[in-house]
Chain A
């Protein structure tokens, strides 16, 4: 058996895989945040809570309606997206003329309410969610064991991330989105209903969080606090990648997940803070973020 830098390959690749999985979630969540920030100029603090709601919708569907994983994968993002559209229409849309801080405060409050409500109902201990039958088991790759479900999570989130990137950067609909991000007044003056676009963008951004929640349910437990634990790191990812940059969010998310994994192998004590150390360094050297544009 060979070893790399004195580390057994099973350990190294195991941690890299874990890092890749975490990175997939960081990417999905920070992508949604970047899309929302670009269009609405709102720092969506409710993102982690809506990720949690996505996971809970999957769990509730399974427990009370008998709808399994694959159904939940479609239904939960739609439910979370619709919830987002309602929140945007009734509350967020009133704040666009005010300082960004108000949007942040509102979404932070919403996050507390959502998490409090679920904690009241279901307690803080996690609810288990089974891996779907089709994805149980794993492959022995020789140098490591690859659980099928984890491979699926990486492939699925990468597909969604790059699909979203393609839709925004390369399609007509994306051109409207990019234009409205730059100059909503003018896009409206071309005859496009920008407020509706804004609502749909918010709905789509939080639907991505809901999707991440469903993907996460079989890996982590479904718990009211699962979003809080994750969202702080995701905000660091967004800051490192550059606010509002789509590709930046995806690449930074994956990269930091891997970096975290590597740190766990070589210097485990630092694994919890490595993302924040990187954030501090990036902010010192390039305040707009790695992929961000100076404003």
Chain B
């Protein structure tokens, strides 16, 4: 569907990311079994599901960090399957991995400025410091000496400079104190207000419910349901069954 972009008038925004029948493999093990989902421009969409449901693998498949992928992943109409791994982020996709990936041999400033700017319109360092005041004045600190919450902020912050328009956020609240989760939530809402499109992997759907427009529920390597955020309350029982909480 090369001109799938033209459906934008029918929807709230242009389709930014379209995944269709995605299968993914790590070596011999088949981890994604036909994932299909769509993220529109300016949306915040979460992937919910239990451990091992394929949420992180879906993100890694988008970034090309996966042995073999079949099916289709389109970003603004461009097919990502078969594209060289280092070219994918250059289209304007920023990835914040679950383990945060702060480099211990780099200072905070070096971590912040490491990802190359791929598009115009990225945030400036002062703007980033306004969003994450904790990072201000910490430039020469070793990256991994920051607290867990600050490392998470840094992992998000370094993507904002690059001009990426789609951000893949893998479990930004994992292992953080409630007060820090609150701060991350404020930041993600601010990013949404700035027009970033965000895909969020979350275990904590109470957190997800405060920011997301829609939720995709994953089970055993594929999407089993899609729940708009305003219907979340009505679907609580179903969601509890899916997530086993």
What is the interface of chain A, defined by CB distance below 8 A to chain B?
172, 175-176, 178-179, 181-183, 185-194
Whether B90 and A175, one on each chain, are in contact in the complex, defined by CB atoms closer than 8 angstroms, is no
Residue B89 CB within 8 A of the other chain: yes
Whether B86 and A175, one on each chain, are in contact in the complex, defined by CB atoms closer than 8 angstroms, is no
Cβ contact of A191, chosen from B104, B105, B116, cutoff 8 A: B116
Whether B86 and A188, one on each chain, are in contact in the complex, defined by CB atoms closer than 8 angstroms, is yes
Whether B106 and A191, one on each chain, are in contact in the complex, defined by CB atoms closer than 8 angstroms, is no
Residues of B within 8 A of A183 (CB): 101, 103
Residues of A within 8 A of B103 (CB): 178-179, 182-183
Whether A178 and B65, one on each chain, are in contact in the complex, defined by CB atoms closer than 8 angstroms, is no
Give the residues from 75 to 108 in chain B that come closer than 8 angstroms, CB to CB, to chain A.
84-90, 95, 97, 101, 103-106
Whether B106 and A185, one on each chain, are in contact in the complex, defined by CB atoms closer than 8 angstroms, is no
Cβ contact of B105, chosen from A181, A187, A189, cutoff 8 A: A181
Cβ contact of B114, chosen from A185, A190, A194, cutoff 8 A: A190
Whether B89 and A191, one on each chain, are in contact in the complex, defined by CB atoms closer than 8 angstroms, is yes
Which partner residue on chain B sits nearest A194 by CB separation? B86
Whether A191 and B90, one on each chain, are in contact in the complex, defined by CB atoms closer than 8 angstroms, is yes
Cβ contact of B85, chosen from A176, A178, A179, A189, cutoff 8 A: A189
Which partner residue on chain A sits nearest B63 by CB separation? A189
Residues of A within 8 A of B110 (CB): 175
Which partner residue on chain A sits nearest B110 by CB separation? A175
**CB within 8 Å for A191 and B65 given contacts A175-B110, A178-B106, A179-B105:** no
Q: How far is the CA of A211 from the CA of B221 in the complex (A)?
A: 53
Give the shortest distance, in Å, between A210 (CB) and chain B (any CB). 27
Q: How far is the CA of A188 from the CA of B66 in the complex (A)?
A: 12
How many pairs of A and B residues are in contact by the CB < 8 Å rule?
A: 55
Give the shortest distance, in Å, between B58 (CB) and chain A (any CB). 14
25 contacts between A and B (CB under 8 A): A175-B110, A175-B114, A178-B105, A179-B105, A179-B114, A182-B105, A183-B101, A186-B95, A187-B114, A188-B65, A188-B85, A189-B63, A189-B89, A189-B95, A189-B97, A190-B89, A190-B95, A190-B115, A190-B162, A191-B86, A191-B87, A191-B88, A191-B89, A191-B118, A192-B116
Residues of B within 8 A of A175 (CB): 106, 110, 113-114
Q: How far is the CA of A186 from the CA of B64 in the complex (A)?
A: 11
Residues of A within 8 A of B115 (CB): 190-191
Give the shortest distance, in Å, between B126 (CB) and chain A (any CB). 20
Residues of B within 8 A of A189 (CB): 63-65, 85, 88-89, 95, 97
Which partner residue on chain B sits nearest A181 by CB separation? B105
What is the interface of chain B, defined by CB distance below 8 A to chain A?
63-65, 84-90, 95, 97, 101, 103-106, 110, 113-116, 118, 162
Residues of A within 8 A of B90 (CB): 191
Residues of B within 8 A of A172 (CB): 113
Residues of B within 8 A of A182 (CB): 103-105
Per CB-CB distance, the 3 closest pairs between chain A and chain B, nearest first, are A191-B89, A190-B115, A178-B105
**CB within 8 Å for A190 and B106 given contacts A183-B101, A185-B65:** no
Residues of A within 8 A of B84 (CB): 193
**CB within 8 Å for A192 and B106 given contacts A175-B114, A183-B101, A186-B97:** no
Residues of B within 8 A of A178 (CB): 103, 105-106
Whether A190 and B105, one on each chain, are in contact in the complex, defined by CB atoms closer than 8 angstroms, is no
Q: How far is the CA of A128 from the CA of B65 in the complex (A)?
A: 53
Whether B86 and A193, one on each chain, are in contact in the complex, defined by CB atoms closer than 8 angstroms, is yes
Which partner residue on chain B sits nearest A185 by CB separation? B65
Give the shortest distance, in Å, between B107 (CB) and chain A (any CB). 9
Residues of B within 8 A of A181 (CB): 105
Residues of A within 8 A of B65 (CB): 185, 188-189
Give the shortest distance, in Å, between B120 (CB) and chain A (any CB). 15
Q: How far is the CA of A182 from the CA of B97 in the complex (A)?
A: 15
Contacts A182-B105, A189-B63, A189-B64 aside, 6 further interface pairs with beta carbons under 8 A come to A172-B113, A182-B103, A186-B101, A189-B89, A190-B89, A190-B162
Q: How far is the CA of A270 from the CA of B87 in the complex (A)?
A: 56
Q: How far is the CA of A187 from the CA of B116 in the complex (A)?
A: 10
Residues of A within 8 A of B85 (CB): 188-189
Q: Which of A183, A187, A188, A189 has the most CB of B within 10 A?
A: A189
Residues of B within 8 A of A179 (CB): 103, 105-106, 114
Q: How far is the CA of A172 from the CA of B84 in the complex (A)?
A: 24
Q: How far is the CA of A279 from the CA of B226 in the complex (A)?
A: 62
Which partner residue on chain B sits nearest A178 by CB separation? B105
Residues of B within 8 A of A176 (CB): 114
Residues of B within 8 A of A191 (CB): 86-90, 115-116, 118, 162
Which partner residue on chain A sits nearest B86 by CB separation? A193
Residues of A within 8 A of B95 (CB): 186, 189-190
Q: How far is the CA of A179 from the CA of B101 in the complex (A)?
A: 10
Q: How far is the CA of A251 from the CA of B101 in the complex (A)?
A: 30
Q: How far is the CA of A189 from the CA of B116 in the complex (A)?
A: 11
Residues of B within 8 A of A186 (CB): 95, 97, 101
Which partner residue on chain A sits nearest B105 by CB separation? A178
Give the shortest distance, in Å, between B134 (CB) and chain A (any CB). 22
